[in-house]
Amino acid sequence: MNGSRFYGALVALTLAATTAGAQTAKLGDKDVAAIKSSSDAFSKGLVAGDPAAVSLFYTEGASFLPPNDKAIAGRAAISTWIKALPPVKDFKLTPVEIEGRGDLAYVKGTFAMTLVPPGAPGPVNDVGKYLEIRRKQADGSWLIAVDIFNSDLPPPR
């Protein structure tokens, strides 16, 4: 390929890539609001002690990456993991950053929670951070496809 053809092909590829990127718009206010609303409903379901309802915020094949545990795959396994938690007295997710394009978004945020382990001398408080990758569904909801979180507190000694 001579120099001018190569240059022309490079310009065409660059324009095609730029145009393809422009067709996928950033998330709109409606999508961001739907994700925030989903986070609030997730929190309420966890405090209500309803692992089956909480697991519905995940895609069927979601990856759940809890701290100090193996990776968990799938909605049913996530529900089982949540069911094993001690009762959750308080739980709050605070999305700090929500970005995405098309049907894919990520949510970076913080959490605060209070657990009431049976037999413990009192409630246990924890704060930390999380990162979610969400996929937009045909009904407009944004389900969690990948979820990882961990504590800001040092491990118990």
**C-alpha to C-alpha distance for 141 and 38, rounded to whole angstroms:** 8
- Residue 109 corresponds to which tokens in the numbers above? 């945020």
- Residue 1 corresponds to which tokens in the numbers above? 């390929």
Please tell me the predicted confidence (pLDDT) of residue 55: 97
How confident is the model over 36-57, as pLDDT tens digits? Answer: 999 999 999 999 999 999 999 9
Alpha helices in 48-138 (DSSP H): 51-55, 75-83
Is residue 4 predicted with pLDDT exceeding 60? Answer: no
The dihedrals phi and psi of 101, each to the nearest 5 degrees, come to: -145, 145
Q: With the C-alpha atoms ordered 52, 55, 61, 64, is the resulting torsion angle positive or negative?
A: negative
CATH architecture for residues 27-151? Roll (3.10)
β pairing state of 142-151 and 124-136: antiparallel
Model confidence, pTM = 0.83
Query: Which of residues 25 and 96 earns the better pLDDT score?
Result: 96
How confident is the model over 64-108, as pLDDT tens digits? Answer: 999 999 999 999 999 999 999 999 999 999 999 999 999 999 999
Please tell me the predicted confidence (pLDDT) of residue 19: 45
Is residue 18 predicted with pLDDT exceeding 60? Answer: no
Average pLDDT score over residue span 103-121: 97
- Residue 40 corresponds to which tokens in the numbers above? 């609030």
Q: What is the average pLDDT score of the chain?
A: 89
DSSP 8-state assignment for residue 74:
S
Domain ranges of the chain: 27-151
